[in-house]
C-alpha cells in the first residue's frame, strides 16, 4: 500500500494537468478560536495568525498514518512538508483546501486512532465540503466515524478513559479538560449534522455531560459553549419528541403532540429569557435555527393550524433576518457560515416557498417573505466554496422552482407532505420530489442515470441560464429571480443537475402505491 501511495504521489506531482487549488484569500487566516478547541499536536512553536500559504512544521519522528506528505500541487509549498489531518483548523477555507481524500482516508483507517483525529473530524464535519452533490458528501458518514472513534477511545467517559485502552492514561488536569472539551464539541457537531441532514442523531447526552460530572472533573464550560450545548440538547429533544415516531398516512395533530409542542415552546422561551441580551450573534442564530427545527413539525400534519403556520412564518423570517445580518456585517461573515447554517438557510428558503405558494400566503406578509427568500438565495451562493458546488446548484434550483411554479393547485396543497421520514427536513425533500413529478412524471431511474451520465460526458455546467453560467449578481434585478428556462419537453433547465443534487430521492418512490401517502387536503 505504501508503495502504491508513493507511486501515485509521484505521478500526480509530475502531471501538469493535475488541477490546481484556488489561490489563498486574504481572509483565510486561522481562526483564533481554534486555539482552545482544536489545538495541534505541537502548538508551542506555531504562530496561529499565519495565512494558509505558510507551511506547517514537520514532525519527522511521527511516522504514523497521521503523517503523510501532501502533493505539491495541493498548495504552493515545499514538496517535503508533510500535512496531517489535525492540521485542519477552524477555517472554512482551510477545510476546502485540505479535504484531500488520500490524506483523509489513510488517516481514519489507521488503527489504533489518536483522539486528535477526532478533533480534525469535528472540524471537517463543521464546514461545507467541496462537493457537487449529496452523493459525494461524506459529512454524515464522517460524523458517525467521529463519534465511534471518540467512544472507542473512551472520550465519552473522560475520567475513566483507561478502561477503554490497553495502556495507562493519565487523564487528569489539562489533559482531562481537553478530552471533556472535545467530547462536548463532538456532540454539538453530531447534533448539527443529524439535524441538517434529516437523520436520527448519534449524540450521547448522559451523565458525563451533566454539571455535576463536569464539576467533579474541575472543568467549567465556557459560557458560549455551554449555551450551544443547551441549544443542541433542545434540538435533540425536539427530534425525539416530534420526528422519531412512525409517520402515519394521514396524521392529525393529536392532543398529546400538542401538549409536547407546548412544553417545547415553554422551554424555548425559558432559554431565551435565561440567555438574555448577553448571547452572542452566532448563538442567537443557532437558537433561531432550533426554533425552526421545532416549527417544521407543522408540515407533518394533514390539518395544520393557522396559528402554527403563522409561528412557522415568523420563525423562518426571524432566522433569515439574523443570517442576512451577517451579509452586511464587517468581514463578510456570511461567507464563513458552517454547513449546518447553510442547511438551515436552505430549509428556511424551501419552507418560505411552500408558504408563499400556498393558499396561506393571504394571511402573511408576502412581499417581506419574498424579499427574505431572495436574500436566502443570495446567502446560499455566498457560502459556496467552489464553482458549481452544491450550494450554488441549490440556489439555482430554488430560483428556477420559484419562477416555474405558480400558486399550488387546490387538488395538491403545497403544505401536504409525501416525504415524511427526513425529520424536520422532510419538506425540503418533498418539494424536490413534487417538482420532479411535475416536470417529468413517470421517469425511470435508468433514464435519470442515463441523463446524468450524458451530462457528465458532455461536461456541461449545471447552473446555466441561456447556456451561460449564472452571474453572482443575478439577484440584483428588480424581480430578483432568474428567468425560467424550459426545454422542448417542458422540463426546466438540466434534469441531470437537478436530480444529482438530491440524488437520494431518485429512487425512493419507485413502485410505492399512492395509498401509502397522506390523502390530499381539499
- Kindly state whether residue 81 falls inside one of the protein's structural domains: yes
The pLDDT tens digits of the residues spanning 418-433 come to 777 888 998 888 888 8
Do 206 and 263 fall within a single domain? no
Residue 447 and residue 306 share a domain: yes
Whether 244 is covered by a domain: the verdict is no
Residue 449 corresponds to which cell in the numbers above?
442515470
Rank 207-221, 226-240, 398-412, 466-480 by mean pLDDT and report only the highest.
226-240
Helix axes 115-124, 101-108, angle to 10 degrees: 140
C-alpha grid cell, residue 338: 458552517
Same domain, 211 and 289: no
State the cell numbers at 117.
483525529
Domain assignment of residue 234, yes or no: no
Q: Quick one: 205 and 284 in the same domain?
A: no
Q: What band does 92 get if pLDDT is binned at 50, 70 and 90?
A: low
CA distance 68 to 55: 14
% residues pLDDT > 70 (the chain) = 57
Count of Cβ atoms closer than 10 Å to residue 116 Cβ:
18
The mean pLDDT of the chain is: 70
Q: Find all residues with CB under 8 Å of 318, minimum gap 6, and list them.
A: 288, 291
**C-alpha dist (Å) from residue 364 to 7, 251, 314, 350, 356:** 62, 25, 9, 16, 8
Domain identity same for 259 and 405: yes
Q: Is 22 part of a structural domain of the chain?
A: yes
Both 134 and 37 in one domain: the answer is yes
Contacts for 199 with CB less than 8 Å, ≥ 6 apart: 140, 193, 422, 423
pLDDT digits (tens, 9 = 90+) for 332-351: 678 888 899 999 999 999 99
Is a pLDDT exceeding 60 seen at residue 201? yes
A 10 A CB-CB count for 330 gives 5
Q: Is 427 exposed, middle or buried (0-12, 13-18, 19+ CB in 10 A)?
A: buried
- Together in a domain, 351 and 219: no
d(CA 383, CA 495): 24
**Is 242 domain-assigned?**
no
pLDDT band at 222 (very low <50, low <70, confident <90, very high): confident
Triad 498, 367, 427: Cα angle to 5°: 40
**CB-CB neighbours of 371 under 10 Å:** 15
Locate 468 and state its grid cell: 451561460
Please write the tens of the pLDDT for every residue from 366-416.
999 999 999 999 999 988 877 788 888 888 888 888 887 555 444 345 577
pLDDT band of residue 25 (cuts 50, 70, 90) is very low
Q: From 168, 200, 223, give the residue that closes a domain.
A: 223
Q: Are residues 207 and 315 in the same domain?
A: no
pLDDT at 45: 34
What CA–CA distance (Å, rounded) separates 198 from 247?
Answer: 14
Which DSSP symbol is given to 23?
P
Query: Does residue 263 share a domain with residue 217?
Result: no
Most confident among 4-8, 259-263, 487-491 (mean pLDDT): 259-263
Q: How many domains does the chain have?
A: 2
Position 153 pLDDT exceeds 80: yes
Q: What is the pLDDT of residue 96?
A: 53
With CA atoms as reference, report the closest residue to 429 among 346, 511, 502, 517.
502
**152/280 same-domain check:** no
Domain that holds residue 338: 255-516
Domain for residue 522, yes or no? no
Phi, psi of 3 (to 5 degrees): -65, -40
Residue predicted with more confidence, 68 or 139: 139
How would DSSP label each residue in 357-417? TSGGGGGS-HHHHHHHHHHHHHHHHHT--STT-HHHHHHHHHHHHHHH--SPPTTS-TT--
pLDDT at 522 over 60: no
Q: Which residue has the higher pLDDT, 160 or 257?
A: 257
DSSP 241: I
Both 131 and 201 in one domain: the answer is: yes
Residue 135 lies in a domain: yes
Residues 168, 268 share a domain: no
**Residue 248 within any structural domain of the chain:** no
Alpha-carbon gap, residue 113 to 64, rounded angstroms: 10
Which of 109, 136, 141, 110 has the alpha carbon at shortest distance from 125? 141
Amino acid at each position: 500500500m505504501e508503495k502504491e501511495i508513493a507511486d501515485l504521489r509521484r505521478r500526480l506531482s509530475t502531471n501538469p494537468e493535475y488541477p490546481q487549488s484556488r489561490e489563498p484569500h486574504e481572509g483565510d487566516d486561522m481562526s483564533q478560536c481554534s486555539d482552545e478547541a482544536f489545538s495541534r499536536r505541537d502548538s508551542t512553536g506555531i504562530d496561529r495568525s499565519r495565512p494558509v500559504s505558510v507551511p506547517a512544521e514537520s514532525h519527522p519522528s511521527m511516522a504514523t498514518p497521521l503523517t503523510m506528505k501532501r502533493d505539491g500541487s495541493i498548495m504552493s509549498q515545499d514538496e517535503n512538508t508533510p500535512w496531517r489531518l489535525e492540521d485542519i483548523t477552524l477555517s472554512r477555507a482551510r477545510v476546502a483546501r485540505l479535504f484531500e481524500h488520500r490524506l483523509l482516508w489513510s488517516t481514519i483507517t489507521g488503527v489504533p486512532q489518536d483522539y486528535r483525529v477526532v478533533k480534525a473530524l469535528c472540524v471537517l464535519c463543521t464546514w461545507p465540503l467541496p462537493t457537487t452533490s449529496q452523493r459525494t458528501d461524506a459529512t454524515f458518514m464522517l460524523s458517525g466515524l467521529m463519534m465511534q472513534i471518540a467512544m472507542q477511545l473512551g472520550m465519552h467517559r473522560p475520567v475513566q478513559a483507561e478502561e477503554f485502552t490497553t495502556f495507562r492514561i493519565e487523564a487528569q488536569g489539562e489533559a482531562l479538560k481537553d478530552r471533556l472539551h472535545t467530547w462536548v464539541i463532538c456532540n454539538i457537531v453530531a447534533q448539527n449534522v443529524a439535524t441538517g441532514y434529516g437523520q436520527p442523531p448519534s449524540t450521547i447526552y448522559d451523565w458525563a455531560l451533566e454539571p455535576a460530572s463536569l464539576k467533579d472533573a474541575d472543568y467549567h464550560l465556557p459560557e458560549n459553549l455551554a449555551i450551544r450545548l443547551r441549544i443542541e440538547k433542545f434540538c435533540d429533544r425536539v427530534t425525539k419528541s416530534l420526528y422519531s415516531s412512525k409517520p402515519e398516512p394521514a396524521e392529525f395533530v393529536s392532543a398529546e403532540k400538542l401538549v409536547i409542542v407546548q412544553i417545547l415552546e415553554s422551554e424555548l422561551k425559558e432559554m431565551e429569557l435565561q440567555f438574555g441580551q448577553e448571547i452572542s450573534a452566532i448563538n442567537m442564530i443557532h437558537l433561531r435555527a432550533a426554533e425552526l427545527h421545532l416549527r417544521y413539525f407543522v408540515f407533518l400534519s394533514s390539518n395544520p393550524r393557522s396559528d402554527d403556520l403563522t409561528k412557522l412564518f415568523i420563525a423562518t423570517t426571524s432566522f433569515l433576518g439574523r443570517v442576512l445580518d451577517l451579509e452586511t456585517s464587517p468581514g463578510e461573515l456570511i461567507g464563513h457560515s458552517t454547513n449546518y447554517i447553510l442547511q438551515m438557510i436552505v430549509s428556511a428558503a424551501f419552507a418560505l416557498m411552500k408558504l408563499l405558494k400556498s393558499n396561506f400566503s393571504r394571511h402573511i406578509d408576502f412581499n417581506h417573505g419574498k424579499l427574505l427568500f431572495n436574500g436566502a438565495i443570495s446567502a446560499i451562493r455566498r457560502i459556496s466554496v467552489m464553482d458549481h458546488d452544491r450550494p450554488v446548484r441549490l440556489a439555482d434550483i430554488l430560483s428556477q422552482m420559484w419562477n416555474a411554479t405558480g400558486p399550488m393547485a387546490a387538488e395538491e396543497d403545497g403544505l401536504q407532505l409525501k416525504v415524511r421520514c427526513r425529520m424536520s427536513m422532510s419538506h425540503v425533500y418533498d418539494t424536490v420530489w413534487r417538482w420532479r413529478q411535475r416536470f417529468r412524471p413517470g421517469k425511470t431511474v435508468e433514464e435519470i442515470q442515463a441523463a446524468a451520465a450524458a451530462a457528465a460526458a458532455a461536461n456541461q455546467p449545471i447552473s446555466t441560464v441561456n447556456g451561460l453560467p449564472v452571474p453572482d449578481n443575478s439577484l440584483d434585478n428588480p424581480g430578483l429571480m432568474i428567468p425560467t428556462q424550459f426545454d422542448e419537453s417542458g422540463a426546466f433547465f438540466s434534469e441531470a443537475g437537478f436530480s444529482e443534487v438530491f440524488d437520494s430521492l431518485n429512487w425512493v418512490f419507485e413502485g410505492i402505491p399512492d395509498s401509502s401517502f397522506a390523502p390530499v387536503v381539499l
